Amino acid sequence: MNAVGQHVPRAVSVTGGAAVRVTRSRRSALWPGIAVVAIVVILGYLPYVVHSGTTTLLVQFFTLLTMASMWNLLAGYAGLVSVGQQAFIGLGSYFVLIGALHGLDPFTALPVAAIGCGVVGLPVWWLVSRLRSGYFAITTWVIASVCELIIIRYPSLGGGTGMLLSGFPDISQTLLNAYIYWTSLAVTVIVLAGVYLLLRSPLGLVLTALRDDETGARSVGAKVARAQRLVFIVAAAGCGAAGALLIISQPFVEPTAAFSVQWSAEMIFVTIIGGIGTIEGPILGTIVFFILQQTLSQDGTWYFIILGLVAMAVAIWAPRGLWGLIAERTGIRLFPVGYWLWPAGSTAGPRGLALLRGRGRGPGRSGAAGALALDDPGRAGPDDPRSGPGDAGPDDFPV
């Protein structure tokens, strides 16, 4: 009892040795897995049965879901609140354009653009990695603005007025739309699978610990910095892919729109409302976004104002978001990345489990119920949370 109450050195030692079973999820992961595959297959078949208007909408859906999943990985797991991901969205679009101007087929240019954004992400990370919270946020924003201002300088890329993307394969518009749709579906599946596998990897444990207690996890060591760098680069590439999808589906790009902070607003709102720090959250949030947008689309920006207000309220009063509320009541996890501990001989993991579930709910943005895998960082952090190592200024405000 005391051992659980004070310290959990290793997941397995909680009940004192071998007499414990560790699983990835409370129920079998088989059925959700089959469901996910079925959904992907059905979605893949859609262009044969629905109008192109529907698939066009779904392309937007997948694009936003990709962005939101990337931002969720950044902010929800790595603790990096970026409001400058539009830098990579814009660059992803323009990389496709540059490729097309050099004779590259847009669909082939998409992965190139994503990788290109990942490469650009490296020096950007070097620049922003020393900054914490607010400094980090605004600096990413400045970098997005710099990217935009640099692109505008190139008339060959359309300057400030933008440019039409050409170089698509010579096929019918219907088939082209289907290709665009399948591409966006593929990008989304790859991104979600990538996030899922990343979080299940050893690095995922570091990220989950970071999500649950940043100060505590920091003290674990340099692994955190490596994990954050990887996440930043993955998110840069993912947002680049989303940007590539944008220009391919438009097919037009214009710097003000491509580098607009609106993209950050969308991915942030969607993630917060759906549930930050869970894979399911952005999916749910994107669905909410599109329902609201489609219902209120004739009323100008109202849907966005409402979305912003809801996101603010959720961030303050229900920081686990919609998915958090659902998972808390049902225990369902579509993408189990944590561990459940089952005391030996019991099928209904009773007291110990309840205790562990309780620990998952920190004051911050703890994830869905029950995932506890690492050492509990507990009160390991320094007393003064303001003394972040990279804080670019002294804490006081003397005169």
Residues at the site binding other proteins, with contacts judged by CB under 8 A: 5-6, 75, 79, 81, 83, 127, 130-131, 133-135, 137-139, 141-143, 145-146, 149-150, 152-153, 261, 264-265, 268-269, 272, 300-302, 304-305, 308-309, 311-312, 315-317, 319, 359, 363-365, 378-379, 385-386, 392-399
> Is 8 in contact with 1 (CB distance < 8 Å)?
no
What gap in Å lies between CA 325 and CA 321, rounded to an integer?
6
Residue with Cβ nearer other proteins (214 or 280) = 214
Which of 226/379 has CB closer to other proteins? Answer: 379
CB proximity list for 385: less than 8 A, separation 6 or greater: 215
The position carrying tokens 């959904």 is 39
CB proximity list for 88: less than 8 A, separation 6 or greater: 117, 120, 121, 235, 236, 237, 239, 240, 243
Which residues contact residue 66 at a Cβ distance below 8 angstroms, ignoring those fewer than 6 apart?
Answer: 187, 188, 191, 238, 239, 241, 242, 245
CA 92-97-100 angle, 5° bins: 125
Helix/strand/coil for 81: coil
CB of 399 to other proteins, least distance (A): 5
Q: Whole-number minimum distance, CB 63 to other proteins, in Å?
A: 19
Report, in Å, the least distance between residue 382 CB and other proteins. Answer: 13
Nearest partner of 370 among 348, 343, 335, 341, judged by Cα: 341
Minimum CB separation from other proteins for residue 309, in Å? 6
Pick between residue 106 and residue 216 the one whose CB is nearest to other proteins: 216
**Least gap, CB of 307 to other proteins (angstroms):** 9
Taking the complex as a whole, how short is the minimal distance between the CB of residue 17 and other proteins, in angstroms? 22
* Residue 123 or 350 with smaller CB distance to other proteins: 123
Q: Which is nearer to other proteins, 333 or 365 (CB)?
A: 365
Strands (E), the chain: 20-23, 163-164, 252-253, 340-343
Q: Which is nearer to other proteins, 329 or 386 (CB)?
A: 386
Closest separation in Å from C-beta 204 to other proteins: 20
Q: How far is the CB of 316 from other proteins (least distance, A)?
A: 5
Owner of token pair 């749709």: 181
Q: Of the two residues 5 and 16, which places its CB atom closer to other proteins in the complex?
A: 5
Q: Do the beta carbons of residue 366 and residue 277 sit within 8 Å?
A: yes
Nearer to other proteins, 49 or 399 (CB): 399
CA angle 386, 377, 80 (to 5 degrees): 50
